[in-house]
Amino acid sequence: MNKNKKILLIGGTGYIGTVLYTYLKKKGYVVSSIDNQVYGKKVFSKGFKKNYNKYKSFLNFKSIEKDLRNTDYVVFLAGLVGDPITAKYPVMSNLINDKGSIEFLNFIGRFKIKKLLYISTCSNYGLSRSKKKLNEKSILRPLSLYAKSKVDIEKHLLKNKKKLGYSFNILRFSTAFGSSPRMRYDLTINQFTRDIFFNKKVLIYDPDTWRPYCHVLDFARAIDKILSFKKRNIDFEIFNVGNDKNNYSKLAMLKLIIRVMGKGNYKILNDSKDKRNYKVDFSKIKKILNFNTKYDLKYGIKEIVNSLKKNKTTFKKTAYMGNYEVIRKKK
């Protein structure tokens, strides 16, 4: 039973966090969140209940002590998420994604936390010229400030695992897609689907680069799997989260969207905007946790299309739905 398991989401009102909250609540967990909503509050879909979240920064240690004393598991989602936003705000990225995250991860060792789930990224693999799929032991070659921060935090956790005071798992997430109460249209599949829906020509850079994709609901399912897993000790293990079948080149992914939607035009541009290129091996999470993804790209594309149809007037103004800009509070 999950009803006695208390989960604290750090950064729980984001694109993944809002989906995760709803999923875990349905599974019977007691879920709360800390999030200062660095991208603003206007990004939530109508009707989403945000009363589970406490509007505070995870860097304000004094204000979050009570929350940490009243939780069993911490899921760390917080930070400036994505390559563009960290490149745009490098100083803030360093403060939050590097120094602040390390200070927080050291701080929570004072409390009786049973386990931390640290959400990392497959972007850590960076640029791979090998045709082989990359597993959890493959060399990490982060290219972006965002991925370099994630790698640094992973190294910190692994180096200090004997003295942190809690166990943990590192989850390297694939590139996310699918609908969320806090929607993002700056993610590739979501963006391409939206653009084609509104009859825009898709401009595609680096068409032959590979990436794994995973639906936000499957991330929630994977986290639930780890929180409820009892068959063996998986403390300190790293897991790639996704499915081998969802490794796509950018162009193949776009062509799939066009087939599913029955329309779409695109133009390949010669400029290189994103050199990341990696196919990922997800056999470990399948073998150890018996985890398989449930929602493929076709499902996610149709889901986004249906959402846009229902909200066609409102969602024409979707340009702000993403990690584009930090909203600074007025003093």
Confidence (pLDDT) at 37 = 86
For residue 329, pLDDT over 80 is answered with no
Confidence (pLDDT) at 328 = 65
Asked whether residue 270 is assigned to any structural domain, the reply reads no
- The domain total for the chain is 1
Range 240-278 burial, b when 16+ CB lie within 10 A, else e: bbbbeebbbbbeebbebbbebbeebebeeeeeeebebbb
Confidence (pLDDT) at 234 = 96
39, 40, 71, 81 from 326: Cα distances, Å: 5, 8, 29, 11
Asked whether residue 313 is assigned to any structural domain, the reply reads no
Asked whether residue 84 is assigned to any structural domain, the reply reads yes
Asked whether residue 271 is assigned to any structural domain, the reply reads no
Confidence (pLDDT) at 319 = 63
Q: What CATH number is given to the structural domain containing 132?
A: 3.40.50.720
For residue 295, pLDDT over 50 is answered with yes
Asked whether residue 96 is assigned to any structural domain, the reply reads yes
- Mean pLDDT to the nearest integer, 217-224: 98
218 or 325: whose pLDDT is higher? 218
**pLDDT by residue (tens digit) across 33-42?**
999 888 876 5
* Listed range (151-155, 159-163, 274-278) with the worst mean pLDDT: 274-278
Confidence (pLDDT) at 1 = 57
Asked whether residue 330 is assigned to any structural domain, the reply reads no
**pLDDT by residue (tens digit) across 125-146?**
998 877 799 999 999 999 999 9
Tell me how far apart the alpha carbons of residues 214 and 218 are, in angstroms, rounded to a whole number.
7
Asked whether residue 159 is assigned to any structural domain, the reply reads yes
What's the pTM? Answer: 0.94
Q: To the nearest 10°, report the CA torsion of 292, 298, 303, 308.
A: 150
Q: Which structural domain range is residue 233 located in?
A: 6-177+213-245+279-294
312 or 300: whose pLDDT is higher? 300
Confidence (pLDDT) at 122 = 97
Confidence (pLDDT) at 331 = 38
Asked whether residue 208 is assigned to any structural domain, the reply reads no
